[in-house]
Chains A and B, each alone.
Chain A
């Protein structure tokens, strides 16, 4: 089914997750996907299939372990069993650089006779910016299939960036497995709003000897139905994967995802698409140029914004009846709301130079009920 995409996603996710953001040190996340699919492998008739995909991840600040299995039953009664283990460890930051060592091992068996296994090791160098990252590095390993074992090697490079409502990235890989050599270019984007999380990918096998060529792409959507339960819809096509032993095909899938622990939306979203920049999950409408603070002046709690290069700073919130108020500039990029704030929890938004309303640094961030984000301040 969509295992190649899953492999790719998982591999990429481990790399970027440990570099940038993901679940926590003492945290294990588990999930179970139950899905029905219609698949059309190249060279085969289309077939219905039912799949169970358990997964578990363990992540700490510098290391990540993930395991995923898939049990597929086709209309014919034939089965496909697949498993994948990945591990990744990051060095301490070297300036803006981090070095990652990653390993992956997997195996699959179709109808009890076609068996594949692989093990790969990889070193990557990451250069991390505030909202972007690039990486590159070699990969090498061993692939075992019906015609014997082969060495595998390759190199990959990629880039990702995150924005207010999602993230996007691109990667190039060149892999050689025995006599087969191929290069893939792939772009991936994810977008989230409310209970909906969508991820799409488009790519092309731009050069190949024995691995086929052509374009491919897929899109998946996760709709959170309740805590721990999401509806998953996906479809697309994918190329062959000589390393992991899958052939090219097309698929549409509908299913549910169960997360046994009472996990919040954030965990669900990560599960779907943590490959690009999971730290962006709750960060729409961030105003990273500005920082807000509550200062005590003359016995009053005063809202102060510091921002450089802005000509006009406006605020609206509980304390202005949600009417925009222009903040008074007091020099050196400091802007101040003239009236004292009442104690309690206050919600607000900020706008710079007539741009979109957002949430500055220094404030808590919450999604509002109106499709955006809102800043939260606690005035003691």
Chain B
């Protein structure tokens, strides 16, 4: 059975690879396509996901970027994916790698990714990483955003709550709060609630959240 699976895998993998790079046909000029295909092949050989790289090239083509810029963007993303995998480990999913690469691009450090993985060893990291990148995009300094996400993770926040946190910050900013302050205030509130529940009391507002044991 294992041999059959391996044999099927050997047949399927080239087909998948072909399908991925065929998405570039007609979207890039020959020179750029060759350059991007080489980058994609080399990333795939290193065990990195190819789809995000193809998507990046297609995004560049869609936005009218020139070939050199597209190739540079794909190369940079491949580098970020590799750095993310080094920080998160080989078990990181494609979505985590993409989210981690976005976080690195936003200003996160590999050390942040490592700490996040250390604090959240078995949970998916896609949402925390995406929230970190999003906070930066909203004007929160990257180090503040990273500290905020780490603090929230330590309070046992789950994905839905992290998404709600992001929305709260977005709303606060829209209402006029400084981005960094909005994040800090929301994190402080979450930590206060966490400390309150740890002490055996209920927080004054919002129902108690599920906590890590």
Chain A residues close to B by CB (< 8 Å): 17-27, 29, 59-61, 93, 128, 227, 261-267, 278-279, 281-282, 316, 318, 321-323, 343-345, 347, 357, 361, 364-372, 374, 376, 378, 380
User: Which chain B residues in 17-45 approach chain A with CB under 8 Å?
Assistant: 23, 27
| Chain B residue at smallest Cβ distance from A348 | B59
Q: Which residues of A have CB within 8 Å of B27?
A: 321
A350 → chain B, closest Cβ, in Å? 13
B184 A27 Cβ-Cβ under 8 A = yes
Chain B residues close to A by CB (< 8 Å): 23, 27, 52, 55-56, 58-65, 69, 72-73, 76, 94-95, 98-99, 102, 105-107, 109, 126-127, 130, 133-134, 136-144, 159, 163, 166, 170, 173, 175-185, 188
Q: Which residues of A have CB within 8 Å of B105?
A: 366
B163 A378 Cβ-Cβ under 8 A = yes
Most buried by B among A19, A264, A282, A345: A345
Q: Which residues of A have CB within 8 Å of B23?
A: 321
Complex Cα spacing A18 to B176, Å: 9
B181 A23 Cβ-Cβ under 8 A = yes
Top 8 closest pairs, chain A to chain B, by CB: A24-B180, A364-B134, A264-B142, A344-B95, A322-B62, A369-B73, A264-B107, A322-B58
Complex Cα spacing A345 to B102, Å: 9
Residue in B62, B106, B140 whose beta carbon sits within 8 Å of that of A323 in the complex: B62
A128 B176 Cβ-Cβ under 8 A = yes
A193 → chain B, closest Cβ, in Å? 14
Complex Cα spacing A20 to B182, Å: 11
B140 A378 Cβ-Cβ under 8 A = no
B62 A61 Cβ-Cβ under 8 A = no
Q: Which residues of A have CB within 8 Å of B182?
A: 24, 61
B173 A21 Cβ-Cβ under 8 A = yes
Complex Cα spacing A357 to B138, Å: 19
B176 → chain A, closest Cβ, in Å? 6
Complex Cα spacing A366 to B129, Å: 13
B107 A61 Cβ-Cβ under 8 A = no
